[in-house]
Structure 1
Amino acid sequence: MTLGWVTDRSDADRSGVSVAEKAAPETVDPRRIRRWVRRVRAARTDLIVAGGYVSLAVFVLAGLWRNPDTAYLSNSDQDQTLYEWFYGITAWNITNLESPFSTQLQGYPDGVNMMANTLMYGWGVPFTPVTLLFGPTVTFVAALTFGLSGTAFAWYWVFSRELVESKFAAAVGGLFCGFAPAMISHTNGHPNFVVLVLLPFIALQVITMARRADSAPQTRPVWQPRAAIVLGVLVALQLTLGEEPLLIFALGFAVFALAYLRNRRTIALTVRAVAPSILLGALVTLALTGFGLWWQFAGPQSYRFIGHGRVGNDLLSLFQFSSASAGSAVSFGPDVAINPTEHNSYFGWPLLLLVFVTAYFLRRERIVRAAVFVGVLFTVLSLGIVLSVDGVLTFSEGKYAMVPMPWLVFGWAPPLNGIIEARFAMIAIPAIAIVLTLGVQRALDQLRDSTVDRWRPVAWFGALACALLPLAPTMLPVEDRTPTPAFFAEGTVRQYISDGSVLIVPPPTATDAIALRWQVDSDFAFPLVGGYFCGPSGEDKRSGYGSDPRPTGNLLTLVRAFDTLPVVDQALRDQALVDLRYWEADVVVLPPTDNADALRRTVDQLLGFPAQQVDGVWVWDVRELI
């Protein structure tokens, strides 16, 4: 009333009657206020959880963030160099309006099928400005940081909206999904297996579509075009980030859905109801990615089969602690990992024990049963075609005995033959997270229930701490990278390039790909003989890494390996000339490397004239010779 009187200055309005007749201010619905408060609190909690995930991801990659220009992940082998090249060539193609499908900058003269490699266009394209301004290393470490924290938050979001009421319980599940030992291991050099942010949302979209179809009154198929388009776009985006993790996750999710629905009739009705929408989503995905997929499998330099050899997990790896985990100091047994980037299991025995005990007490929950079934099944598949224990094949009564595993039945069929089977264990990560999330929720419920003994939930939280603390990630080690020779960094190489390529002595391969960094630092000034990429090998176009080796390249590789001068005769000189002409080489370059003197003297004899030292490298200009 006072406000109404003050804002109206007429005499009539100052009377008691006029004041009384003024409309009373509208009252705010208390329920609306409570909803608004809940949303603010929920958003605040989400931001806190996201901030925690980001902080942990930055800690894991702190060594690389501190010195992105000079630091290199110690356990990355050649993969950091490879992905920096991927992000660099993506930015270069965009700024120079070059084709994103193929390039001759590696593997000259045959080139590289870019779509048949894990370029992660879904990250590299939008981050092109970052790559151009700060370099591909920043794009690389940003992808890893976002992958760890974003994957954790995506699962937290799904768990908190669909699985449990407690944000704390959902945060625990998201934490494990984003920072499990396998995720930290792949952070050493496989961003395509770290940026898994879209996978939980793809699963959520399918679940939502199935739920809507199930709630519809009619029994015929339910048409959901908008949801199908969203699903198609999500899958298409994931294809631009990583095909193999999408395939593995799709297999795991399909088995999970079947295990959850159980009843044949229920499965049939659900499939019938959502099939039209799923098919529409597939058509949307195909429309967005169809040409790229065709180029990948049928374009130039495509390949028909990927052979990785026997790459299953050792049985002990399920119970051990990863070298990148806090519990590595108390791990047992020999190191049975494939390599530092493939710690795909390493759950640790305390966590496995807790999960199975918790699953037993929650066995009435359908989702728990389905999660356990999927986790166990894909963990068994991850053991490969033959069981390995303690680093050796299993044996009986002192004699080795081949124990075949289920993957022996499926691993030969395309496209499954392109999967590294050890990675199937990553399906167990969200399965374990589901059990942990529900376990935390039930423990919190019991703590709030005054009629239940408090010791049980307290003991469970103690066991949870004992299971997760040994899996806490440590900071990934880094080392100083070798500086780029001035011959490449300052652009001197351009003076030696006409229309041909640069032959590094010996040619770069998957085990020594540092020349890719030199090419990036020269702003892709030259095509490179050899390299590190996936391409066809041999007459049957079987997949291999890098170009098919040629005799002169093999000779130079052996000279560096054994530091021994070969007997160079006319046959070797003629072969060198044939190979140089095949490579269309303009210049041969010997950078600082092991056994450089033996390499230089060998090339001198092969070419018939001595090298010149230019800007820190030895150079043979072979344009007139060829």
Structure 2
Amino acid sequence: MRTDAARADLGEDTVSVDLTVVVPAYNEERRLRPTLDAICAHLRADPDRWGDWELIVVDDGSSDGTAGIAAAAAADEPRIHVVTSKGNRGKGHALRQGVLASYGRRVLVTDADLATPIDELDRLDKQLTADGGGAAIGSRAHPDARIEVRQLALREWLGRLGNRLIQLVAVHGISDTQCGFKLFDGEQARAAFADSRLDGWGIDVEILRFFRRSGWPVTEVPVRWSHQPGSKVRPLDYGKVLLELVRLRARRTRGTRGAQWAQRLHRGRRTDLAVAGLFLLASFFLYKGLWADLDHTYLADAGSDQNQWEWFFRVTADNVVHLRNPLFTTLQNFPDGVNLMANTVMLGLSVPLTPVTLAFGPTVTWALVLTLGLTATAFAWYWLFARRLVRSRWAAALGAALAAFAPPMMSHANAHPNFLVLFMIPVIIDRALRLCESAAAVVEKAPDGAADKGTDKAPDQGRRVARDGVLLGLFATYQIFLGEEPLLLAAMGMLLFALAYAVVRRDVARAALGPLLRGLGFAVQVCLPLLAFPLYWQFFGPQSYHSVLHGDNAGNSPLAFLEFSGRALLGDETTADALAMNRTEQNAFYGWPLIALAFGIVVWLWRLAVVRALAFTAVAAALLSLGPKVRIPFTDVVLPGPWRALAHQPLFESVIESRVAMICAPALGALVALAVDRLGDRLGDVSRRTHRIVGLAAVAAALLPILPTPLPVRDRVDVPPFIAEGMYRSYVSEGETLVPVPLPDPGGAEALHWQSATGLGFSVPGGYFNGPWGEDRRGIYGAPARYTSNLLRDVRYSGQVPTLGDDWKAQASYDLAFWKAGVVVLAPQANDAALYETLEKLLGRPGKRIGGVWIWDLPPAAGGPG
């Protein structure tokens, strides 16, 4: 990012170095050469640490022999370059020229007097490494700083007063803004100085404000400092700094605020559109079989879930258009009904998509939610990673692709849109991070990221906390109506990350804790009134339940993390099926190459706090997902798992623990994004090109085996004419039900498709939903079994007709009366001959063939007991 003038002055093509030292000099003929010699000696003494370096001297129009001394030093040491300014423009102008002429991965700016010795660079370098970027300021005001030669007491007091004023006006929380010894991340420094406008002493504050607004960490490091005779900084210069800042703010407010906002909006817009387009194409590619014939195709691995979800979309639209309670219905599980709030009906999408459902049918809504929801989720992760994690948008896109299209996500893409449509999760994470930033004196962010934090004025922080807390509450409320379990898992992941990060960066944690807790308080105040009635209905309303049990084998096998999912590019269905509950619950299967790559990335970038926190989050989530009991592969050894502590806690007892491994997807995506961003940092560095190619090849080799393939589909059974053409209406009176044989349940819910495809003109007993069972209201899938429903199901799957006596006939009569049955319907299916014979014996008469089905019309007297 060197300016043309600076490049011409240095007379060189583009290079890449590890460290650039910038020394602004104005009339420094007495002190300059010892300073340059000391800097060169320090850097030469440890070549392995400092690598390739350059030293840029900016002569700010000196009237003495400064330029000649700088030229002589450059002749002795080819890594010294001289930039000459035409006339004395001020320290800010000189620093801008020097930094924009730099190529260093890191940039140190130091005054020509070396009041802070060059060996203090070691401390700043260690801090910047820990921060992963940003700025490390050599601070004289830090409690641990060593002032070896003090100024006059009056001068020192005036300097402190000036710094206090600058803190209050511009950069709250930084005690020593004017120290001339600062180490920056190179790219971030060049971006900040390119944006700067001040030519005088105020540029230090302007640059720090830019870093704060961009969300880059700024840390004060205690250093040794000695007052140097002849210092050009006067106490009254602090007043000049304040005046410059006031003028700058007025100038930018009048002339450039709108332009800068437009530039920020335009920056990267083409890339954003390209990334969104690629995600959309990828989503359509995965669902191309479904879109090819929406009326006659069904996702092959969906089980009965597609029928269930289409029914959810259709019943919600029906409730909305008829102004009925959207939280309850008796169209399934008649007469008890279904608590829709206690089921994953995704009211946050099913309600606003009511016009689509009514106009085009629930299958179109289903396909749109899956396709556009997956696209939106991928783009939301991209937005978060590009905003807060990495500089390269394409690195962010690759990480987001892994987060959204990871094997667990693709498993749920067959049947569970509530675990696929997660676009609010990155938005919630970003808002939580904003709360952490609101009053933190030290703002931590991953290297080379960028974020707009707003102003740093202390009086505005309370308003920002309140605003961000309210927004967080609204976002969380909306996510509740998209999916509660994904929000719970996201909260677990955020908590794991926060705990790990707090251990690594206690200073950041201490600063962030207050505003975070206050913001969460505002969020709770927003959520409670909005969610009070829906949650009351969910947990205490009709057909509510308190937990859903999934058995002791719902955890992941350790081997599942190393294998490929059945539908991945290099996956094997037989291997994956043996390690998962079913094909919609393949919640790990990241594959050993990706696990190995992640391990390598963590080792490589271990110095970054964010990497350590991500690693802990992924490992902890993987361990929790093993369940309360962990079987050691290839042995009979069973050990207690960490999930045991949560298994019977409220809310957690309903979680399928293997799903906790889904937290690993965004964590792994973030690690890959960081690695690719770092690999692409020095595109012009020929010496590192081989390493970069090998690194990118390793990333490709890890991701290629788990690339998702198009989701397979199967032909959908047509709705029988008896239902499709409305013939059933002559047999079902007001308050009666149509009884499909066998009754719909989680194993077979075709009757729900009959309902949703034909306008919900009848109710059915049984169904596929979550509801209560027994006196303790334990949650189960489907309706509580009755003798007749169990009998018909057994015949359906066995093909055997049992011996049926009068007691069975009486029980069937009683159950049909409970269901208020108007007609019994037997559609063509496997073992339908055995089912026909069973019904004929139970009902005491043959069925009637009409509209492609067998029916038994029942007299009104069948609707007896309640």
TM-score normalised by structure 1 residue count: 0.90
Q: Which amino acid aligns with 2:373?
A: G
- Tell me the residue number matched to 1:339: 582
CA–CA distance in structure 2, aligned partners of residues 477 and 86 of structure 1: 23
Native 8 Å contact 2:490 2:663 kept in 1? yes
CA–CA distance in structure 1, aligned partners of residues 257 and 437 of structure 2: 28
- Tell me the residue number matched to 1:248: 489
Distance change (3 Å), C-alpha of 1:267 and 1:31: closer
User: In the alignment, is residue 130 of structure 1 matched against residue 356 of structure 2?
Assistant: yes
Question: Of 807, 815, 832, which aligns to 1:579?
Answer: 815
User: In the alignment, is residue 291 of structure 1 matched against residue 533 of structure 2?
Assistant: yes
- Tell me the residue number matched to 1:361: 604
User: In the alignment, is residue 477 of structure 1 matched against residue 477 of structure 2?
Assistant: no
Deviation per residue, 1:341-382 (Å, 9 max, x gap): 112111111111111111111001000000000000000111
- Tell me the residue number matched to 1:25: none
- Tell me the residue number matched to 1:15: none
Deviation per residue, 1:434-480 (Å, 9 max, x gap): 11111111111133345x42211111001011011111111110011
User: In the alignment, is residue 148 of structure 1 matched against residue 374 of structure 2?
Assistant: yes
User: In the alignment, is residue 374 of structure 1 matched against residue 608 of structure 2?
Assistant: no
- Tell me the residue number matched to 2:448: none
Secondary structure in 1 matching 2:606:
coil
Secondary structure in 1 matching 2:382:
helix
Residue-pair matches, total: 591
Secondary structure in 2 matching 1:213:
coil
- Tell me the residue number matched to 2:238: none
User: In the alignment, is residue 236 of structure 1 matched against residue 456 of structure 2?
Assistant: no
Secondary structure in 2 matching 1:403:
strand
CA–CA distance in structure 1, aligned partners of residues 346 and 860 of structure 2: 40
Map residues 153-168 of structure 1 onto 2, 5 A cutoff: 153-168=379-394
- Tell me the residue number matched to 2:591: 348
Question: Of 854, 859, 865, which aligns to 1:618?
Answer: 854
Question: Of 838, 844, 849, which aligns to 1:608?
Answer: 844
Distance change (3 Å), C-alpha of 1:492 and 1:47: same
Question: Of 401, 424, 429, which aligns to 1:203?
Answer: 429
Structure 2: tracts of 5 or more residues without a match: 1-253, 442-455
Deviation per residue, 1:489-535 (Å, 9 max, x gap): 11111111112111111211110111100111221111101010000
Native 8 Å contact 1:222 1:274 kept in 2? no
Question: Of 659, 684, 690, which aligns to 1:455?
Answer: 690
User: In the alignment, is residue 91 of structure 1 matched against residue 326 of structure 2?
Assistant: no
Q: Which amino acid aligns with 2:517?
A: A
Question: 1:332 Cα shift?
Answer: 6.8
- Tell me the residue number matched to 2:546: 304
User: In the alignment, is residue 272 of structure 1 matched against residue 514 of structure 2?
Assistant: yes
CA–CA distance in structure 1, aligned partners of residues 574 and 704 of structure 2: 13
Question: Of 289, 298, 302, which aligns to 1:63?
Answer: 289
Q: Which amino acid aligns with 2:484?
A: E
CA–CA distance in structure 1, aligned partners of residues 291 and 268 of structure 2: 31
Secondary structure in 1 matching 2:627:
coil
Q: Which amino acid aligns with 2:763?
A: P
TM-score normalised by structure 2 residue count: 0.66
CA–CA distance in structure 2, aligned partners of residues 330 and 565 of structure 1: 35
User: In the alignment, is residue 189 of structure 1 matched against residue 415 of structure 2?
Assistant: yes
Question: 1:258 Cα shift?
Answer: 1.7
Secondary structure in 2 matching 1:90:
helix
Identity in percent: 41
Native 8 Å contact 1:221 1:275 kept in 2? no
Distance change (3 Å), C-alpha of 1:35 and 1:574: closer
Secondary structure in 2 matching 1:619:
strand
Q: Higher RCO, 1 or 2 (CA under 8 Å, sep at least 6)?
A: 1
Which consecutive aligned stretches of 4+ in structure 1 deviate over 6 angstroms post-superposition? 28-35, 216-221, 330-334
CA–CA distance in structure 2, aligned partners of residues 119 and 159 of structure 1: 30
Question: 1:337 Cα shift?
Answer: 2.0
Secondary structure in 2 matching 1:504:
strand
Native 8 Å contact 1:260 1:369 kept in 2? yes
Q: Which amino acid aligns with 2:771?
A: G
Distance change (3 Å), C-alpha of 1:278 and 1:333: closer
Question: 1:614 Cα shift?
Answer: 1.4
User: In the alignment, is residue 446 of structure 1 matched against residue 682 of structure 2?
Assistant: yes
Q: Which amino acid aligns with 2:523?
A: G
Native 8 Å contact 1:312 1:383 kept in 2? yes
Distance change (3 Å), C-alpha of 1:219 and 1:32: closer
Secondary structure in 2 matching 1:479:
strand
CA–CA distance in structure 2, aligned partners of residues 376 and 344 of structure 1: 15
Q: Which amino acid aligns with 1:342?
A: E
- Tell me the residue number matched to 1:258: 499
CA–CA distance in structure 2, aligned partners of residues 469 and 560 of structure 1: 43
Distance change (3 Å), C-alpha of 1:219 and 1:600: same
State the structure with more CA Rg: 2
Higher mean alpha-carbon deviation, 329-338 vs 341-350, is at 329-338
CA–CA distance in structure 1, aligned partners of residues 347 and 790 of structure 2: 33
Structure 1: tracts of 5 or more residues without a match: 1-27
Deviation per residue, 1:549-585 (Å, 9 max, x gap): 1111111222222222222222111111111111111
Native 8 Å contact 1:382 1:423 kept in 2? yes
Distance change (3 Å), C-alpha of 1:95 and 1:39: closer
Native 8 Å contact 2:438 2:515 kept in 1? no
Question: 1:389 Cα shift?
Answer: 5.2
